[in-house]
């Protein structure tokens, strides 16, 4: 998924803006939180890893994308 696609998703679900602005990374096999990323002022609704897996992009209802 590209950053453009993340931005397109920003036009969906604008009515639900509540959230803590955190991005949580989970190990789905162990159900353990691996880390918490801070930086958004409102709910995060989309995340995407870069093709090489080294960068994570998060998109929020605060209309920002964080890398």
Give me the pLDDT at residue 65, please: 92
Looking only at the bridges linking them, the beta strands covering 32-37 and 44-49 are unpaired
Say how far residue 49 (Cα) sits from the centre of its chain: 10
Q: Are 64 and 20 in contact (CB under 8 A)?
A: no
Q: How confident is the model at residue 31 (pLDDT cuts 50, 70, 90)?
A: confident
In total, the chain counts a number of residues equal to 67
Percent pLDDT > 70 in the chain is 73
Q: How confident is the model at residue 17 (pLDDT cuts 50, 70, 90)?
A: low
17 or 31: whose pLDDT is higher?
Answer: 31
Give me the pLDDT at residue 18, please: 63
Of 12, 64, 25, nearest to 42 by C-alpha is: 64
């Amino acid at each position: 998924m590209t950053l453009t696609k993340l931005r397109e998703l920003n036009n969906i679900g604008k009515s639900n803006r509540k959230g803590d602005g955190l991005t949580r990374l989970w190990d789905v096999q162990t159900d353990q939180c691996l880390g918490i990323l801070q930086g958004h002022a409102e709910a995060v609704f989309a995340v995407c890893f870069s093709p090489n897996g080294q960068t994570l992009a998060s998109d929020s209802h605060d209309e920002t994308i964080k890398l």
